[in-house]
Structure 1
Amino acid sequence: MLDVRRLHLLRTVAARGSITAAAQSMALTAGAVSQQLSALRSDVGVDLLRPDGRTVALTEAGRVLLEHADRIFAAVQEAESAVAAVRGMVGTVTTLAALPSTVARIVAPALTALGSQHPQLTVTCHVADQAQLRELTLGTVDVVLGQRYRHVPDIAPRGIDVSPLLDDPLLVVTAANRAGERPLALRELATHSLALPPPTTDCGQAILHACQLAGFTPTTRYVTADIAAQLTLARAGLATALIPQTAIDPATPGIRTAPIVDHPILRRLFAATRHTEAANPTTTAVVAALSSAARRDHATCLPPG
């Protein structure tokens, strides 16, 4: 009989691209992962992985086995959720992945509310610049608070349910002694020195796309994904920044914010979970808390439907 744990290792290696990366994500040694994959290869009697440059790739047999492994783990998840639904109670542990820019005004209030409503529940929160939906499929996390910008196709991996939370506009941030809080046309920023996230990030790509639609290429003086650094540069009058509304503390001194009127840049915040036929009370409670926190933050809510 195939060992489910070894199948999980195969899935992780396929997703991460290498045995080393898979081992690091699972807090194992590369040798331990290789040993288990060798045992799995012996179980099935055929090679499952092949070298592919500096990475590894699945063989045809590996792809076939992975398809079955995906169905096996989906069935396991379905069984766990069905039992949880019968119990009808929020569990004791779960894991949330979130973006740094959502922690102060959405994640922290949501976790505070969960602690009050479900004191038995312990939420482990992973904060990373790129909250990957892939982590849901691997079972590394249970809920992802992610983002999507409007110019990016809305494509979720198979087996993932996405619940929209809110549309979060990027605001123009300058020093308090500069322009007033009137709405701005994006084209007005063509003469500004900007502090922007790297063009390889979702936010950086969205800003470049919007500026191109407005007919100019932005003058990027400072490149950083660190929102605190962007705010510091704007407060000092060294640059203008474009920052999501939920990432800005309204009480931050020394800055002015203004909306963009002609080419608004919106990121859609969402909560994502693994799809199951029976709703899992624990992940349902986490998503509900995130949704409530988003509404309480007075951000622009999504229209119905």
Structure 2
Amino acid sequence: MLDIRRLHMLKTVVARGSITAAAHSLALTAGAVSQQLSALRSDVGVELLRPNGRTVALTEAGRVLLEHADRIIAAMEEAESAIAGVKGTVGATATLAALPSTVTRIVAPALTTLDSCHPQLTVTCLITDQAQLRELALGTVDVVLGQRYHHLPDATPRGIHISPLLDDPLLVVTAADQGEGRPVILQELAAHDLAVPPPTTDCGQAILQGCHRAGFTPTPRYITADIAAQLTLARAGLATALVPRTAIDPTTPGIRTTPIADHPIKRLLFAATRHTENANPTTNAVVAALRTAAQAGQTACLPPAQE
């Protein structure tokens, strides 16, 4: 009989690209993973992986087995969710992956709510902007608080359920004593020293496309994905930044925030879980807390400009 743990290892190795990377993510040694894959190969009597440069690739038999492994693992999770639904109680642990820009106004309030409403639940939080949905599909995390900029197509992996939380517009951020406080025409920023993310990032691409729609190509003075650095430069009067509203701490002093009037640039913030036919009370509780925090954050006041 096939061992589901070995099937999961096969899936992880293929997703990570190598035995070493898979072992790191599973908190195992590469030797232990290799040993389990060898046992799986013996179970089925055929090679499942082949070298592919510095990575590994599936053989035809491996591809067929992985298709079945996906269904088997999904069925196991469905069974676990069904049992959890029958019990009707929130579990003891959950893992959340969230974007750094959502910590202040969504993640921290949501975790505070969960701690109050479900004190038995311990949520481990992974703050990262890298490949959250892949981690969700692999079972490394249970809930993802992710983003998708509106210029990007929907690339949600199969088997993932998306719950939209809110549209999060980028705001124009300057020093408190700069600007007029009125909504900004995007074209006006052509004459500003800008602090923006690299064009290789989703946010950087969204800003670039928004500026192109407004009729100009931006020439940034400062390029950084660090939002804290962008806000520091803006507060010092050195640059104008374009920052998602949710990423701005309402208590931040010394800045002025204004909306874009004509070519708004937005990201969709969403909560993602693995799709199951039976609702899981634990992940439902985490998503509900995120939704409540997102709605509260949407109505929270931004810092007033200080003259």
Q: How far off its partner does 1:231 sit?
A: 0.5
2:172 alignment partner in structure 1? 172
AA aligned to 2:233 is L
AA aligned to 1:10 is L
1:249 alignment partner in structure 2? 249
Deviations 1:244-285, CA, capped at 9 Å, x for gaps:
001111221111111011110000000000111110001111
4+ long deviations beyond 2 Å = none
Name the CA distance, whole Å, in 2 between partners of 1:18 and 1:124: 26
Q: How far off its partner does 1:298 sit?
A: 2.6
Name the CA distance, whole Å, in 1 between partners of 2:235 and 2:167: 25
1:38 alignment partner in structure 2? 38
1:79 alignment partner in structure 2? 79
Answer yes or no: is the 8 Å Cα contact 2:246–2:298 preserved in 1.
Answer: no
Is 1:286 paired with 2:286? yes
After superposition, residues 217-228 of structure 1 pair within 5 angstroms as: 217-228=217-228
Name the CA distance, whole Å, in 2 between partners of 1:142 and 1:8: 16
Answer yes or no: is the 8 Å Cα contact 2:173–2:243 preserved in 1.
Answer: yes
After superposition, residues 41-80 of structure 1 pair within 5 angstroms as: 41-80=41-80
Please give the secondary structure, in 2, of the residue aligned with 1:234.
Answer: helix
Q: How far off its partner does 1:130 sit?
A: 2.7
Answer yes or no: is the 8 Å Cα contact 1:190–1:216 preserved in 2.
Answer: yes
After superposition, residues 120-269 of structure 1 pair within 5 angstroms as: 120-130=120-130, 132-269=132-269
Please give the secondary structure, in 2, of the residue aligned with 1:219.
Answer: coil
After superposition, the Cα gap between the structure-2 partners of 1:299 and 1:265, relative to the gap in structure 1 and judged at 3 Å, is farther
1:303 alignment partner in structure 2? none
Could you tell which deviates more after superposition, 19-28 or 60-69? 19-28
2:14 alignment partner in structure 1? 14
Instruction: Give aligned pairs, total.
Output: 300
Deviations 1:162-183, CA, capped at 9 Å, x for gaps:
1000000000111112112211
Please give the secondary structure, in 2, of the residue aligned with 1:189.
Answer: helix
After superposition, the Cα gap between the structure-2 partners of 1:9 and 1:299, relative to the gap in structure 1 and judged at 3 Å, is farther
Name the CA distance, whole Å, in 1 between partners of 2:119 and 2:60: 48
2:113 alignment partner in structure 1? 113
Name the CA distance, whole Å, in 2 between partners of 1:265 and 1:217: 15
Name the CA distance, whole Å, in 1 between partners of 2:223 and 2:54: 30
Could you tell which deviates more after superposition, 130-139 or 74-83? 130-139
Q: How far off its partner does 1:31 sit?
A: 2.0
Name the CA distance, whole Å, in 2 between partners of 1:169 and 1:299: 13
Please give the secondary structure, in 1, of the residue aligned with 2:101.
Answer: helix
Name the CA distance, whole Å, in 2 between partners of 1:72 and 1:299: 43
Deviations 1:91-114, CA, capped at 9 Å, x for gaps:
111111000110111011111011
Please give the secondary structure, in 1, of the residue aligned with 2:217.
Answer: coil
AA aligned to 1:141 is V
Please give the secondary structure, in 2, of the residue aligned with 1:267.
Answer: strand
Name the CA distance, whole Å, in 1 between partners of 2:78 and 2:195: 46
Aligned alpha-carbon RMSD (Å): 1.3
TM-score by length of 1: 0.95
Could you tell which deviates more after superposition, 176-185 or 118-127? 176-185
Could you tell which deviates more after superposition, 75-84 or 201-210? 201-210
Answer yes or no: is the 8 Å Cα contact 1:196–1:225 preserved in 2.
Answer: yes
Q: How far off its partner does 1:299 sit?
A: 4.8
Answer yes or no: is the 8 Å Cα contact 1:145–1:272 preserved in 2.
Answer: yes
Deviations 1:192-225, CA, capped at 9 Å, x for gaps:
1211112221111111111111121111121211
